[in-house]
């Protein structure tokens, strides 16, 4: 097995798929590692660190693509809209592992299939005990939730903690987190550490105990949501009537909040609109909304992806790829996830793709000139 790592080309992407610490473990296990020069620079890892751990650093991407039979990437295929040159330089029989955005049709998947390249999307990792150490979405969401709380604090024109001074008492800011998945729980924990009074809501009643364990108040909204969680542990998309009632019941909480962090997302679907323009206009001037679902359209009606919007005195942030802004730690976590996954396909030092393995079967997009998973095949129109 020869693993290749490219310098990421997606605009603003600072992560690297493999860090030096995990490079050493791969080399020790008998795996050759090829790195495109400068691949780890933005994550704080110069080329020499990789050389010290046994990797070979080469001048350009073409040599990596020509020699590697396993390519570890952060963003590739539809996720990066990679140019045709890289896709065509992959060797038949090679495997690509990374964030591929396998939720929408894209010409890159047909090219990977027709080129005989096996591709595996880390977004499709099943939520089973054996795959916990490979769960990229949770790793990156954890960082995004942390950074969202910091962004909110930075943009709020008041302090988060209560403070008693000779000049008077500063009352605690109130934060409301919508969605108590991995990102939401970390946003709750971070806002609490900063001193805010935190409330949270999720359509899944089962997370109430987790919210309360972090010292936050769980907002009770009387809605029937028995089917709000899918079998794989993600939130399920609800109907429009449900979201309409939810918005009505949430309005009062929003009006009292200084900070609102929204994290509601359904894999492969547009983000549900939970905050309307009217709800924003009922919030106090100076309030801040951080919409972590901006890339999928946003949970706030006024969100614009990658931009900061001012409306009626409320600041609405639509950040993209927050994990990349914490590139060093994000790369460390991502590298652990992806190298652990690559080991599933390493047998006696060789690349072996066993489609009977439930982790490989769940994440495979293309293999041996086909798209093995029927649901993926239909979704990608292949």
Going by their DSSP bridges, the two strands 70-75 and 95-99 should be labelled as: parallel
Tokens of 120: 């595996």
For the question of residue 132 being annotated catalytic, the response is yes
For the question of residue 135 being annotated catalytic, the response is yes
For the question of residue 234 being annotated catalytic, the response is yes
Tokens of 147: 């950074």
- Is residue 177 helix, strand or coil? strand
Tokens of 277: 């323009």
Of 48, 104, 107, 132, the catalytic one is 132
**Nearest alpha carbon to residue 351 among 32, 75, 134, 18:** 32
Give Cα separations from 112 to 6, 64, 105, 370 (angstroms).
17, 17, 13, 9
Of 67, 127, 193, 217, the catalytic one is 127
Q: Tell me how far apart the alpha carbons of residues 231 and 251 are, in angstroms, rounded to a whole number.
A: 30
Element (H, E) at 71: strand 70-75
Of 67, 81, 89, 138, the catalytic one is 138
Of 234, 236, 237, 251, the catalytic one is 234
For the question of residue 86 being annotated catalytic, the response is no
**Rg of the chain (C-alpha set):** 22
| Neighbouring residues of 154: CB distance < 8 A, sequence distance ≥ 6 | none
The backbone region for 101, taken as left when phi is positive above 0, alpha when psi lies in -120 to 50, beta otherwise, is left
Q: Tell me how far apart the alpha carbons of residues 185 and 210 are, in angstroms, rounded to a whole number.
A: 8
3-state DSSP helix/strand/coil percent for the chain, to nearest 5?
40, 20, 40
Tokens of 342: 């690559």
**Nearest alpha carbon to residue 175 among 153, 155, 157:** 153
For the question of residue 48 being annotated catalytic, the response is no
| Residue 310 burial (CB count, 10 A) | 9
Of 47, 101, 135, 202, the catalytic one is 135
Instruction: State the catalytic residues.
Output: 127, 132, 135, 138, 234
């Amino acid at each position: 097995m020869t693993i290749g790592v490219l310098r990421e080309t997606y605009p603003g992407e600072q992560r690297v798929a493999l860090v030096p610490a995990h490079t050493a473990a791969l080399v020790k296990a008998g795996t050759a590692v090829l790195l495109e020069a400068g691949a780890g620079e933005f994550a704080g890892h110069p080329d020499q660190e990789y050389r010290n751990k046994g990797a070979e650093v080469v001048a350009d991407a073409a040599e990596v693509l020509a020699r590697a039979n396993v390519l570890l990437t952060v963003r590739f295929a539809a996720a990066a809209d990679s140019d045709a040159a890289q896709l065509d330089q992959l060797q038949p029989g090679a495997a690509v592992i990374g964030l591929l955005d396998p939720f929408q049709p894209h010409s890159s998947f047909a090219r990977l299939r027709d080129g005989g390249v096996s591709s595996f999307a880390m977004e499709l990792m099943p939520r089973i005990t054996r795959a916990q150490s490979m769960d990229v979405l949770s790793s990156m969401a954890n960082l995004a939730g942390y950074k969202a709380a910091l962004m909110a604090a930075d943009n709020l024109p008041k302090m988060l903690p209560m403070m008693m001074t000779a000049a008077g008492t500063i009352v605690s800011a109130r934060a409301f987190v919508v969605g108590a998945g991995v990102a939401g729980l970390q946003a709750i924990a971070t806002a609490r550490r900063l001193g805010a009074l935190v409330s949270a809501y999720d359509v899944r009643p089962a997370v109430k105990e987790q919210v309360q364990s972090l010292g936050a108040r769980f907002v009770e909204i009387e809605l029937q949501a028995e089917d709000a969680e899918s079998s794989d542990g993600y939130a399920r998309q609800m109907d429009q009537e449900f979201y309409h009632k939810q918005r009505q019941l949430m309005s009062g909480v929003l009006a009292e909040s200084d900070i609102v962090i929204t994290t509601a997302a359904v894999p492969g679907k547009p983000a549900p609109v939970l905050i309307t323009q009217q709800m924003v206009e009922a919030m106090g001037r100076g309030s801040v909304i951080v919409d972590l679902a901006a890339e999928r359209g946003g949970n706030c009606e006024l969100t614009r992806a990658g931009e900061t919007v001012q409306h009626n005195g409320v600041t609405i942030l639509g950040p993209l790829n927050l994990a990349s802004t914490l590139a060093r730690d994000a790369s460390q976590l991502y590298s652990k996830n992806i190298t652990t996954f690559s080991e599933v396909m390493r047998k006696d030092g060789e690349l072996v793709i066993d489609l009977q393995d439930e982790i490989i079967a769940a994440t495979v997009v293309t293999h041996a000139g086909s798209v093995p998973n029927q649901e993926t095949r239909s979704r990608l129109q292949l």
